[in-house]
Structure 1
Amino acid sequence: MLAKPFEKPIRVWVGMGFPRQLNTVVDAYQFVIDWCGNSPEQKAAIRACRAALAGDVDAETARGVFVAFARKKDILIEDGAIPPILGSAQPKHV
């Protein structure tokens, strides 16, 4: 299996709010198969990653499907997102 890097890494929340960066299709595949659950989004991400690793689709197609899975599970770190712990420590403006 080739690593098949993404043009832009995917960042997700894991555990108790710790960020993790996924740089390749293999990273995303390992993450999604270890994910507890059996949702349609998870199954689609697994299929897309397998297809990319087999050379049937490109890495960016698999990335898009994985991002949809991560967004649905509310673990995707969007650009500019503030970590939950740091976000709660910020002063509130009234």
Structure 2
Amino acid sequence: MLAQPFEKPVHVWVGLGFPRQLNTVVDAYQFASEWGGNSPEQRAATRACKAALAGDVDPETARGVFVAFARSKDILVEDATIPWWRPKQPSYV
């Protein structure tokens, strides 16, 4: 089954600072595969996602490896509950 969902989506920064939500193993695999570079973290994320797609590991294991990759590249949105576009409140409010 290709659309193996994560229990909690992963949010990463793409382009000019826009967030992207990755909901499934396939989403994470495509993102890691298309990411420019060839770092050990990227290769590990790609391998973990492939293993999850093959049924060798569970989706949450692949998610953890992908999160480590995204964190190492400083593209992980650590707190996805706060919209990035929300303006700051003025101090007088």
Give the residue type in structure 1 aligned to 2:49: C
Report how many residues are paired. 90
Q: Counterpart in 1 of 2:14? A: 14
| Residue in structure 1 matched with residue 51 of structure 2 by the alignment | 51
- 5 Å matches for 1:55-94? 55-79=55-79, 80=81, 83=84, 86=85, 90=88
* Paired-residue identity, %: 72
**In the aligned structure 1, how far is the partner of 2:83 from the partner of 2:48?**
29
Show structure 2 runs of 5+ residues with no match.
none
User: Structure 1: where are the runs of 5+ without partners?
Assistant: none
Structure 1 residues 64-92: Cα deviation after superposition (integer angstroms, max 9, x where no partner): 00000000000000125663xx58x6479
TM-score in terms of structure 1 length: 0.86
Matches within 5 A, 1:36-47: 36-47=36-47
Q: Which amino acid in the other structure matches residue 48 of structure 2? A: A
